[in-house]
Every structure is written in structure tokens, then in C-alpha cells.
Amino acid sequence: MSKVEQVTQILQDLEEKVIDIIGSAVIRTNGLIIASALPNEANERMIAAMSAALLGTSKRSAEALFNGLFRSLNLELDKGNMFLIGAGRVILVAITRKEPNIGLVTLEMEDTSNKIKDIFGVEE
């Protein structure tokens, strides 16, 4: 099984575990999609590009404000949420319904990001 197939299966498993998640993807930090389980109506390329931009801004903010490292971001919108979490050399992104169980989404995304790190390697 290829890395992309492994990650696609992991994304499908994540969505089965957390009913609030309506779509997920693994994206390179340059905004290119590696694997996606996003809904058909989602603009995958736009989500990937925005995720990379949000990651870059979040990393710079973490460094400037706390001299720290980015871990995750929860973007609350009127129709749902977008979660980003670093997964080594890639980004795990999840789109949720409005008012999700944030604790469960975060917990499962952390577990999923660790599985993805194992596949793609950890950023040095």
C-alpha cells in the first residue's frame, strides 16, 4: 500500500470516529494536497492554499509572541470550524460542522497526526 493510500485510509478512519468532521486532508506546507477526504463540493485547492497560508502565519505568530512552536489552530466560522495541526512535514486539516465537540476533534486529530508523522517522517 502506498503512502497516499495509507493516509487516505487514516483520514477515512478519522471521519468515522468523529461525526462532527465532514472532511479532512493532508497538505504539504507549500499548499499542495497529498491526500483528501474532503466533500465533493469543497474547493480542495482553495482549502489547501488557505491551510498553508494559515500555517505560515500561525508559525510566525507563535515565534514572535512566545518564542514557541506552532501546534494547532482552530478557526471558528459561522457555518463550521477548520482545524489545522502540524504532522511532521505536512499539515492535517479537518473541516467540521457548526459547534463541534472541540475536545474530541482535537484529541482524535492529535492521534491521527502522530500516525501521519510515522508515515511521512518528523520535521527536523
Distance between CA 118 and CA 87 in Å, rounded? Answer: 9
Q: How many CA atoms lie within 13 A of 93 on its CB side?
A: 33
Structural domains in the chain, CATH included, are 3-119 (3.30.450.30)
pLDDT at 124 over 60: no
Which whole number is the average pLDDT over 91-98?
Answer: 96
**Cα R_g (the chain), whole angstroms:** 13
CB 81 within 8 A of CB 75: yes
Report pLDDT digits (tens) over 10-67: 999 999 999 999 999 999 999 999 999 999 989 999 999 999 999 999 999 999 999 9
Sign of CA dihedral 67, 65, 57, 12: positive
Helix (H, G, I), strand (E, B) or coil at 53: helix
Which three three-digit cell numbers place residue 34?
Answer: 497529498
pTM, 2 dp: 0.91
